[in-house]
Amino acid sequence: MADETTGKSGISRPKIKDIKLNSILEVTKAINHNFPTEKLLEIFETVLKVQLNIGKLVLFSYDSGWKCLLKYGVEDEMANINVNLEFGHIKEISTIDYTSAASNHTFEIVIPVYHKSSPLAYVLIGDLNEDKLEVSAAIKHLPFVQTLANIIVVAIENKKLAKDNIRQAAMRKELELASEMQNMLFPSSLPNNSHLQISAYYLPHQQVGGDYYDFIQLDENEIAFCMADVSGKGVPAALLMSNFQANLRILLNHISSLSDLVKELNNKVMQNAKGEKFITLFIARYNIVTRILTYINAGHNPPLLANNNSISMLRVGCTGLGMFDELNKVKEGIVSIDPGSILLCYTDGVVEIENEKEEEFGIQSLKNTLKRNFGSDMENLNKEIISEVIEYKGNMPYVDDIALFSCRIF
């Protein structure tokens, strides 16, 4: 007569309980010691296959798509079935729908593992000998398998989340460093003296951006300044702009002609961007003795030159940099500056921002703001422009970087 504590599998009931308890403890210990996913899956397979005699198993886990993390006792093609099609409708433990061609009578049970309303995994279990009359191990140990599967899957999911958090923290740190480096591109101080009063404002759409302005004192009587905008946003735009700034400052010391300078800058942008991005640029030289401003507008939003009577737009120049291999026609604009004039440079993020009716702020609104605040100092002028832009957009989001460079020429 068989021992009452012995099951048909030959494993005593107390021993089964010990196996299950020890398995939970082993998995918990492995999780606490941050064992790799491969080790957790190895423990899972050993418990089910060796200790509980469950003959077949496949574990599908979701990670940017369904992947087979573990399988034994089955053909290789089982790892390639369409998980969404075959199991996406299953919310609770179910027997396999044997009408499914993919299951092919291979499994008895599917165990879904959910987080809220999202499936994390599907565990398929069954036995090799389906002709036995006794209750299969897969069914006999189902509650324990479900518990262990949930622990394993959640542990794997937590490891993925931890990796994502580390990766995101690293990305945030990289963005912070990129932002700090980009801030170093801008001049640390701008003149406020008897000849010039300059103020600038910059708001990147993301943590880093592709707008850029600069001011360079060339000699005692001559200055250069510019505003530029890279197509695109974020880190790629910021990297191209940092390279552009380095080239511009180097070339300014060796090339006196603005036309030659812009042509060489175009070559540099083509080399670095490979035709995938371009840069719009407004660059100017101003002589405080002759009061002559020489400039080139390379596809940039035309700066506004205002005096007490009128506002003109500085359009003369060429196409944007990096659009064509060579710039064959580059024109220089030459303007005599009246005392007290204001030169306002800006990027398209200012004039193209939209309100809730999808209407752009526009050039005319910018001109009107400049007229109303013509008597202001340059810092307050920038503040008024930004205030009106913010009020105009209402609840609409910023869609591009915003930059202003305002210069009063006495």
Quick check: 408 and 342 in contact, CB under 8 A?
A: yes
Q: Is residue 328 pLDDT above 90, yes or no?
A: no
Could you tell me the CA-to-CA distances from 376 to 48, 97, 198, 370, 381 in Å, in that order?
79, 77, 12, 9, 6
| Residues near 146 by beta carbon (within 8 Å), at least 6 away in sequence | 93, 111
In the chain, list all ranges with CATH 3.30.450.40.
13-163
In the chain, list all ranges with CATH 3.60.40.10.
186-409
Q: What is the CATH number of domain 186-409?
A: 3.60.40.10
Q: Determine the pLDDT at residue 168.
A: 78
Block residue for tokens 């801008």: 186
**Sorting pLDDT into bands at 50, 70 and 90, what band is 12?**
low
Q: What mean pLDDT is reported for the chain?
A: 86
Bridging pattern class, strands 311-313 and 317-318: unpaired
- Which H or E element spans position 227? strand 222-230
CATH class of 13-163: alpha beta
- Percent residues over pLDDT 90 in the chain: 48
Q: Is residue 98 pLDDT above 60, yes or no?
A: no
On the CB side of 224, how many CA atoms lie within 13 Å of its CA? Answer: 16
How many C-beta atoms lie closer than 10 Å to residue 355's C-beta?
14
Q: Determine the pLDDT at residue 269.
A: 93
* 90 vs 237, residue with greater confidence: 90
Q: Is residue 105 pLDDT above 90, yes or no?
A: no
**Sorting pLDDT into bands at 50, 70 and 90, what band is 2?**
very low
Q: Is residue 304 pLDDT above 80, yes or no?
A: yes
pTM passes above 0.75: no
CA dihedral sign, ordered 183, 184, 185, 188: positive
Q: Is residue 76 pLDDT above 80, yes or no?
A: no
